[in-house]
């Protein structure tokens, strides 16, 4: 079973339907989609800056932003099934379908998840992958890393993933890859053969990197 997180930067990208088509056609019974926050979470950030809203309230607002993105994806590809809990997730998988995770219910019932911008959709995707026993986590992002392997710490320092992601990744036991927007073409072969593509993410600090503001990837 694979968890595939579709980054928020693809929310208005013409390749988003290509990803959804590929995952729907080839990922039935094997793939769970996790939506990023995209412009929906971006609006939450703006609202917090304007109104100085408490982090705990913003935490739920951002989760609902992920859900809006997920529902948008299910509107683009109507055979993708929005789900809120593990029971429904496995029910859809058992019927050879592809669920889209709406995270608010599960995450708000988990006391150990921090209510801050340090924990965004990347960390939540890793949390879900560990929780459901996934063998692989794919993070689809609008980046071209150009490396075969990179550390989670370096990605966090560059603002490509959130600050908590290295810790969440360390707790899991699954292969983690970052894939570019046009890598949707590789999904059929990957699912059929179990091969890997993209940049592998490992735990273990490498050279220091400049910290950039976290962006919607």
* pLDDT at 209 > cutoff 50: no
pLDDT for the residue 205: 52
pLDDT tens column, 185-194: 999 999 999 8
- Determine the topology of domain 2-202 in CATH: Carbamate kinase (3.40.1160)
Q: State residue 146's pLDDT score.
A: 82
CA 203-205-208 angle, to 5 degrees, is 145
- At which residue do the structure tokens 């304007």 appear? 50
- Residue 177 CB contacts under 8 Å (≥ 6 apart), including other chains: 136, 137, 138, 139, 196, 197, 198, 199, 200, 201
Does pTM top 0.95 for this prediction? no
- For residue 216, give the 3-state DSSP assignment: coil
The stretch 100-127 carries a mean pLDDT of: 97
Question: What integer pLDDT is reported at residue 204 of this predicted model?
Answer: 81
Residues near 111 by Cβ (< 8 Å), separated by ≥ 6? none
Q: Could you tell me the two tokens for 143?
A: 């980046």
């Amino acid at each position: 079973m694979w968890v595939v997180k579709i980054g928020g930067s693809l929310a208005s990208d013409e390749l988003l339907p290509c990803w959804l088509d590929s995952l729907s056609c080839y990922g039935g019974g094997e793939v769970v989609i996790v939506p990023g926050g995209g412009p929906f979470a971006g609006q939450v950030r703006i609202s917090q800056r304007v109104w100085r809203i408490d982090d705990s309230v913003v935490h739920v607002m951002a989760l609902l932003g992920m859900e809006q993105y997920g529902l948008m994806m299910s509107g683009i590809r109507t055979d993708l099934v929005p789900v809120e809990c593990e029971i429904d997730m496995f029910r859809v998988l058992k019927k050879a379908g592809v669920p889209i995770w709406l995270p608010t219910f599960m995450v708000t019932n988990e006391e150990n998840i921090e209510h801050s911008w340090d924990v965004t959709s990347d960390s939540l995707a890793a949390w879900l992958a560990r929780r459901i026993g996934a063998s692989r986590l794919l993070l689809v992002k609008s980046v071209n890393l150009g490396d075969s392997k990179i550390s989670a710490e370096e990605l966090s320092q560059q603002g490509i993933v959130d600050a908590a992601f290295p810790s969440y990744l360390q707790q899991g036991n699954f292969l983690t890859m970052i894939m570019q927007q046009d890598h949707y073409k590789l999904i059929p072969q990957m699912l059929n053969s179990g091969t890997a593509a993209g940049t592998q993410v490992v735990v273990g600090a490498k050279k220091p990197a400049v910290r950039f503001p976290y962006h919607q990837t």
